[in-house]
Chains A and B, each alone.
Chain A
Amino acid sequence: MDERPDDVLVEEARRGAVEAFSELARRHQQRVYRLIYGMTRNHSDADDLSQEVFLTAFRSISGFNGRSAFYTWLYRIAVNQTLNFLKKRGREKDRAGFHENLPYGDQGRAAAYSPEGNSILGELQVRVAEAVAALPAHFRASFLLVADQGLSHAEAARALGCSENTVSWRMHKARKLLQARLKLYLNEVGP
């Protein structure tokens, strides 16, 4: 296993070493795929977009200035491509509108929900996943980067191309929307 740090591999990839870039891709493919899958909730789209993200990064690696971490740069490409993809497909229009007072039962249960795993935490995860999928795209991207991938506000800001304050505000708004959507369910199952 290649133990060289990312920045060394990036420098070699910038000089045209395909193997170095392949190693970088191996290290980060799951993160990128996970982010895109969280945005699209579709494996086929996540696969296609993830491959395109790495090809785009490979073509433009010479333009990577190294001021941020390599994975942050990858995230930025991934977020931009996914947002463009969703905009092009018009999937945002097809999504159910986000109604804060809509009872959770009216949204139907997630297809991924399995009766076998119907513990309270398992159902909560399904409910949260449904609610996150219904967030506006930019809020969803921020929420996934910070709450799912564990990026700091500063790292998420670099990945999203916005300020830390914007990330903080989006997270606040996203949580308010999720809280409103899940309020009835949370009250029903109790603390």
Chain B
Amino acid sequence: MRCEAAKRRISDALDGALGAGRSDRLERHLRGCPACRAYRQGLTRIQAGAAGLADPGLAPADWADFGRRLEGRLARETAKHAPPGLPALWKWAWTGAGLAVLVFALVYLAVLRPRTVAWPVPLSFEDSVAQIMGEIGGNQDLAGAFDREIVASITEAARPESEEAPVPFGDNPLFWEGLTDGEIGYINAELEKELGHGGLT
């Protein structure tokens, strides 16, 4: 084994990273190499001097203070990335509801609002006549036209009922043309019974 390889193994051995087989070979080399033995002795002393090498020497109160500050920063970090809490949700809900009401009101007023129509107040018969007579006033033409309308309406109402009576179906030649011989025979027999003579001739 060369001295450079032995020095690498001395370092590994100090770190507890040398297997048993390699350790045996190293020991054989060291028995015959005073320079490497001196090197190992120096490293062993350095290793002893490295104990507590990076001890910061802080008191328990310093560690407690470090921990408190860290917990404060962790809490702030958590709050920064936390989802909004209930109060914030309520605030957003109320804001959203207010906006929705406002939008609905604007749409209602602009588009959906029903148009109001000023329907005339219905008048009684006497009031109607009084209003007409007031409008006619001294106008003879209007008075004459009104009289004619009145007379026409009375005439219409008094027309005899016979003028509007329907034509008896027996007078309609189309009725007789649509009957079969059996139907004509039946009608004839009924008329004979009712009228007491030869029926249809």
Contacts and interface: CB of A to CB of B under 8 A. Distances in A.
Contacts of A171: 11-12, 15
Contacts, number: 113
Interface stretch (A2-10, A101-109, A178-186): A178-186
Interface string B91-111: 000000000000000000000
Interface size class of chain B, counting residues whose CB lies under 8 Å from the partner chain: 35 or more
A58 B43 contact: no
Given A22-B74, A179-B39, A30 B54 contact: no
A64 to B, nearest CB: 16
B53 A179 contact: no
Contacts of A25: 67, 70-71, 74
A1 interface: no
Given A26-B67, A124-B48, A182-B46, A172 B7 contact: yes
Nearest to A178: B46
A18 B75 contact: yes
A143 B15 CA distance: 10
B51 A125 contact: yes
Contacts of A134: none
A152 B41 contact: no
A34 B46 contact: no
Contacts of B56: 33-34, 37, 43, 46
Contacts of A183: 42
Interface in B65-80: 66-67, 69-71, 73-75, 77-78
Contacts of B182: none
Contact of A128 (B8, B12, B39, B49): B49
A110 to B, nearest CB: 12
Contacts of B45: 124, 186, 191
Interface string A134-175: 000000000110111000110000000000100011011001
A121 interface: yes
Contacts of B131: none
B18 to A, nearest CB: 10
Interface in B1-47: 7-8, 11-12, 14-17, 39, 41-43, 45-47
B169 interface: no
Given A25-B70, A55-B77, A182-B42, A128 B11 contact: no
A48 B54 CA distance: 17
B50 interface: yes
B49 A59 contact: no
A132 B50 contact: yes
A169 B50 CA distance: 19
A18 B78 contact: yes
A176 interface: yes
A129 interface: yes
B175 interface: no
Interface in A20-57: 21-22, 25-26, 29-30, 33-35, 37-38, 43, 46-47, 50-51, 54-55
Given A34-B55, A168-B17, 8 more contacts: A55-B73, A58-B77, A125-B51, A132-B53, A144-B53, A168-B15, A182-B46, A186-B45
Question: Which 3 interchain pairs have the tightest Cβ spacing?
Answer: A38-B54, A128-B49, A124-B49
